[in-house]
């Protein structure tokens, strides 16, 4: 399952290079096709690596695809705080 695989990537950050694992998690998040879920994964990446430009770019991209403006604002607020 995709979610389990991404959880394993986060759990294995110490085993691999940190940035490599974080970027793999971002890449695999895109396979879910659920923009809200993808934003949550990218937000998790930002919590671990606040300057990860890939996660920031993906969050901005995903947020523009969420149809409910209230949900989009809520998720962006969650990322910023």
Which pair of tokens denotes residue 63?
């947020």
Residue 37 near residue 44 (C-beta atoms within 8 A): no
What is the average pLDDT score of the chain? 73
Stretch 11-23: mean pLDDT = 61
pLDDT at residue 68 greater than cutoff 80 = yes
Tens of pLDDT, residue by residue over 24-63, are 777 776 776 777 777 777 888 788 778 878 888 888 888 8
Measured between alpha carbons, how far is 45 from 3 in angstroms, rounded to an integer? 14
Q: Which of 48, 51, 76 is nearest to 61 (CA)?
A: 76
Q: What is the pTM (predicted TM-score) of this model?
A: 0.60
Residue 30 near residue 38 (C-beta atoms within 8 A): yes
Residue 33 near residue 23 (C-beta atoms within 8 A): no
């Amino acid at each position: 399952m995709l979610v389990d695989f991404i959880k394993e990537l986060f759990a294995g950050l110490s085993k691999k290079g940190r940035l490599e694992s974080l970027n793999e998690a971002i890449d695999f998040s895109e396979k879910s096709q659920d923009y809200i879920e993808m934003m949550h994964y990218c937000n998790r990446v930002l919590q671990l690596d606040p300057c990860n430009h890939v996660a920031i770019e993906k969050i901005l991209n995903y947020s523009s695809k969420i149809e409910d403006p209230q949900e989009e604002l809520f998720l962006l607020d969650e990322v910023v705080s």
